[in-house]
Amino acid sequence: MKEIKLLDHQKEEIITVAKAISSNTRFMILKILADEELDISRLADRLEQTEANVSAQVKQLEKANLISSRYEPGEHGVRKICRTAIKRISIQIT
């Protein structure tokens, strides 16, 4: 896993990452995926939330490059498998 280092001149990236981790649900998704890869359905079960909500939260984390996903065949079509793309985030303000 890699580290994201954001410097003060990367204002937009800092804001995107900060917004992504400001949600309790998204933060919990990161914590869960730090230990294992899961598909959206199993992630939703763990969080006791709907698949639609978890999918929307995952999109925000993908937008911030904090998780990555791939598609695999499932029982009823394809399933989206997610994992963390980072281990550490550091932000330098000055």
The pLDDT, as a whole number, for residue 49 is 97
The CA distance from 59 to 68, in Å, is 10
Residue 6: CB atoms within 10 A of its CB come to 19
pTM recorded for the entire structure: 0.87
- Contact (Cβ atoms closer than 8 angstroms) between residue 43 and residue 93: no
Domains identified in the chain and CATH numbers: 2-91 (1.10.10.10)
- Contact (Cβ atoms closer than 8 angstroms) between residue 81 and residue 38: yes
Provide the residue-wise pLDDT of the chain in tens; the chain has 94 residues: 588 889 888 999 999 999 999 999 999 999 999 999 999 999 999 999 999 999 999 999 999 999 999 999 988 889 999 999 998 999 888 8
The pLDDT, as a whole number, for residue 94 is 80
The pLDDT, as a whole number, for residue 1 is 55
